[in-house]
Amino acid sequence: MKISKINTRFFALLLGFAMVFGFSAFKSTGKRVNMVRYQFQNATDTNIDQVTSWDNVTSEEPEECSIGSTLPCIIEFDTDGTYPNLAAYLATNNTAALINASPEVVEKKASL
């Protein structure tokens, strides 16, 4: 009987420590993350620097990209970071080569 009480108390103590350490591992960092995702709609690099050539696919499943590496297909960035919006991103990355070289490219596609 005395051993059973000791085991129960030890188990409760162990469970308490596990919960404290387990739940503290999932704390929010407090940093806001506002990821946006855009898909390039043209089959060539024509108007690649125009906002109207990109569709916002942040809250939807983007269309499948053709296999290739000459054109960017999907870009993704945090609006709290370097680029507050797509226009700012395209002002800095205004050619297919610059966009393809940027770390914001998630997928690439072939050009026609």
Break the chain into its structural domains and give their ranges: 35-109
Q: Pick the closest to residue 79 from 34, 14, 109 (CA basis).
A: 34
pLDDT of residue 94 exceeding 60, the answer is yes
* 7 vs 73, residue with greater confidence: 73
pLDDT of residue 83 exceeding 90, the answer is yes
Contact yes or no for 94/47 (Cβ under 8 A): no
What are the pLDDT digits (tens) for 22-71? 666 655 555 557 899 999 999 999 999 999 999 999 998 888 988 888 99
pLDDT of residue 6 exceeding 80, the answer is no
DSSP 26: T
pLDDT at 102: 95
